[in-house]
A and B are shown apart, each in its own frame.
Chain A
Amino acid sequence: AQSVSQHNHHVILSEAASLELGCNYSYGGTVNLFWYVQYPGQHLQLLLKYFSGDPLVKGIKGFEAEFIKSKFSFNLRKPSVQWSDTAEYFCAVKDPRGNTPLVFGKGTRLSVIA
Chain B
Amino acid sequence: NAGVTQTPKFQVLKTGQSMTLQCAQDMNHNSMYWYRQDPGMGLRLIYYSASEGTTDKGEVPNGYNVSRLNKREFSLRLESAAPSQTSVYFCASSARTSGSYTFGSGTRLTVV
- A-to-B contact residues, CB < 8 Å: 9, 32, 34, 36, 42-46, 49, 90, 92, 94, 96, 98-99, 101-107
Contacts and interface: CB of A to CB of B under 8 A. Distances in A.
A102 B99 contact: yes
Given A9-B40, A42-B105, A107-B42, A101 B90 contact: no
Contact of A101 (B58, B104, B106): B58
B34 to A, nearest CB: 10
A109 B54 CA distance: 35
Interface residues of B, number: 24
Given A99-B51, A102-B101, A107-B42, 12 more contacts: A34-B100, A36-B101, A42-B105, A43-B90, A44-B103, A99-B96, A101-B31, A101-B58, A103-B45, A104-B43, A104-B44, A106-B42
Contacts of B92: 44
Contacts of A98: 97
Contact of A99 (B44, B97, B100): B97
